[in-house]
Chain A
């Protein structure tokens, strides 16, 4: 016999959860007492509920296991909203448990009451309000099942305080399996459609593989790599898909889209066949006017979510299914296909691509003197960490530089908020990653804008002794906002600068009990970075003064085709 609170924690344990992130408060106190009375599920105390969701998110992205969050009602729940929305946009498996006021006071505007089910509805895959303690095991089972299967996503469980009352106990049994009659995610792709897609693919003359976060989430990287190699076709990844195919492989064209490489965007633009896998033709890829998007291409689209297919760009061959079984079947069919790839056409296509590559769209011109270019910081980070770090990022120019210049050879190493674009994501996400992989190198690439959105988590890092390396590209301004203001608002920097009020980040890091390093000279960049990463058991805040006028290039020209880009401040296609 267990109380509702004990049942909840026991159910989490039975579900395989050993780590949760949260923050206590009135309506969740029975649950917190249940946590106190056991040692199987570890709880990480964050300093703000938003950080709990991002930390759980980073944990989920890096491990593939669902992240779990526990918050109280009212402000605890609403503070979690941004993190839930972030996870929802990037299809991250997450279960968020929120305390709620007692059942009889729901709807009475009670202290710390918020309609969490209502507030979170548009940004969750599903949600449950627990009405009876007896239902807790089955609801937990269902919540994890829904969060982790099909297209993953966050699930909220809202629990009124009296349901977890330690004074009332109930028999406990955790269900071994669960069937939800109205929920049946696809388990394999349609063989006929796959056959059709393979035929088109094999007959292509200018093919491109365009793959996204779905390949990472579906653990399809290995199969994708095999398929790409079997075909010998060029491949590009979306921001969310980086690492799904080894970035240092010669078939890799780099990231595509708004800040994609010249060769990736040109190849997409001139392709005759595009195989999209686990990518959703997001506006950061297609640019706003989809009528100009790859007009000559036959589009083969594999996705687990039928609603992602033909949403913005019409797919000629839609394939609904999970990435692994679909790619397995594709690979078999490619190997067995009677159609021979036109080697001559493919060679000509590669020649064209190599010509685009010669443009070296990610070439960095060093600044004069000791000024550090932000790109050079990422290049140094890549070198110092041997390309083996888990890299989390915040949102802005630094995020794009990290995506462009850190070459991810493995999936689940690049952790960023792509869909929602949530500033403040990087540091708490890094906490989740470091807790999942205590011995790994975890770097949080951030900017002086983003880092201040969840800087309080330096305290959590201290409490949990997390040796994260924070790489702060400090350009003393909201760089991406400023870039847009340069390009579209004649340099009117409305509310994007604050140079005279920035904190001393070194002193700030030290105040939290960490190490701070300031780098201002190019000649010291690598040596000081090395010094920072050599402190293996310490969090080091590396504050790097970078060129404040740098822009991210290439940059897609608004409402243009994939082939229309600015390549620098003075060149465009």
Chain B
């Protein structure tokens, strides 16, 4: 099952490699990974999406908690949550395709953030699934480049991840 694990960790050199290294060392999967400092500059928040059965996920969480730089973590998929990912996608847009691409982007509430006579760059935010859906919807066009940030997320309601 797909899980989104969000981690608060020390914003220290080496911290990221310890977390990432743990995944490769124990042969756990990383589907996506985002990391950046939080409002507290001494802390970084890292969000990783991974796949595994309950046993594996339990081990991943236990091992992550053992990493000395990891202060706190939450499996967002355990409760209701909001997840978002941002994608910048360059699509060939000439002739009749130009209007079609724009129409699809509108349906997905994407923004055209850059244009040239032959292409659009579209910015799209949403769940991983929505972004995948957009790429599928553009199957008839030529996709030139895709840059995705990976999933970030928070729990719904009053639950917060903080020290």
Residues in A whose Cβ lies below 8 Å from that of B13:
129
Instruction: Tell me the bound Cα distance from A127 to B163 in angstroms.
Output: 23
Determine if A310 and B66 form an interchain contact, defined as CB atoms under 8 angstroms apart: no
Determine if A127 and B14 form an interchain contact, defined as CB atoms under 8 angstroms apart: yes
Residues in A whose Cβ lies below 8 Å from that of B18:
121
Determine if A118 and B9 form an interchain contact, defined as CB atoms under 8 angstroms apart: no
Residues in B whose Cβ lies below 8 Å from that of A307:
59, 62-63, 66
Residues in A whose Cβ lies below 8 Å from that of B65:
306
Report the minimum CB–CB distance from B20 to chain A (whole Å).
10
Determine if A181 and B17 form an interchain contact, defined as CB atoms under 8 angstroms apart: no
Q: Most chain-A Cβ atoms within 10 A of its Cβ — which of B13, B58, B62?
A: B62
Determine if A183 and B68 form an interchain contact, defined as CB atoms under 8 angstroms apart: yes
B80 within 8 A of A: no
Instruction: Tell me the bound Cα distance from A180 to B13 in angstroms.
Output: 16
User: Hey, what's the 0/1 contact readout for A105-136 against B, CB within 8 Å counting as 1?
Assistant: 00000000000011001100111010000000
Q: Most chain-A Cβ atoms within 10 A of its Cβ — which of B65, B66, B72?
A: B66
A572 within 8 A of B: no
User: Hey, what's the 0/1 contact readout for B64-85 against A, CB within 8 Å counting as 1?
Assistant: 0110111110000000000000
Instruction: Tell me the bound Cα distance from A181 to B8 in angstroms.
Output: 11
Determine if B69 and A182 form an interchain contact, defined as CB atoms under 8 angstroms apart: yes
Determine if A305 and B68 form an interchain contact, defined as CB atoms under 8 angstroms apart: no
A146 within 8 A of B: yes
Residues in B whose Cβ lies below 8 Å from that of A146:
68
Residues in B whose Cβ lies below 8 Å from that of A182:
9-10, 68-72
Determine if A121 and B62 form an interchain contact, defined as CB atoms under 8 angstroms apart: no
Report the minimum CB–CB distance from A306 to chain B (whole Å).
5
User: Hey, what's the 0/1 contact readout for B111-146 against A, CB within 8 Å counting as 1?
Assistant: 000000000000000000000000000000000000
Residues in B whose Cβ lies below 8 Å from that of A311:
59
Residues in A whose Cβ lies below 8 Å from that of B25:
122
Determine if A121 and B21 form an interchain contact, defined as CB atoms under 8 angstroms apart: yes
Report the minimum CB–CB distance from A322 to chain B (whole Å).
15
Instruction: Tell me the bound Cα distance from A363 to B29 in angstroms.
Output: 49
Instruction: Tell me the bound Cα distance from A180 to B59 in angstroms.
Output: 23
Question: Who on chain B is nearest to A131 by CB?
Answer: B13
Residues in B whose Cβ lies below 8 Å from that of A129:
13-14
Instruction: Tell me the bound Cα distance from A310 to B57 in angstroms.
Output: 12
Determine if B71 and A126 form an interchain contact, defined as CB atoms under 8 angstroms apart: no
Determine if A122 and B21 form an interchain contact, defined as CB atoms under 8 angstroms apart: yes
Question: Who on chain B is nearest to A146 by CB?
Answer: B68
Report the minimum CB–CB distance from B70 to chain A (whole Å).
6
Report the minimum CB–CB distance from A116 to chain B (whole Å).
11
B159 within 8 A of A: no
Question: Who on chain A is nearest to B21 by CB?
Answer: A121
Can you give 22 contacting A-B residue pairs, CB < 8 Å?
A: A117-B14, A118-B17, A121-B14, A121-B17, A121-B18, A127-B14, A129-B13, A129-B14, A146-B68, A182-B9, A182-B69, A182-B70, A182-B72, A183-B68, A305-B66, A306-B62, A306-B65, A307-B62, A307-B63, A307-B66, A310-B55, A310-B58
- Given known contacts A181-B163, A182-B69, A182-B72, what 8 new A-B pairs fall within 8 Å (CB)? A117-B14, A121-B21, A122-B25, A125-B68, A126-B68, A146-B68, A305-B66, A306-B62
Minimum-distance CB pairs A-B, first 6: A182-B71, A307-B62, A126-B68, A122-B25, A306-B62, A183-B68
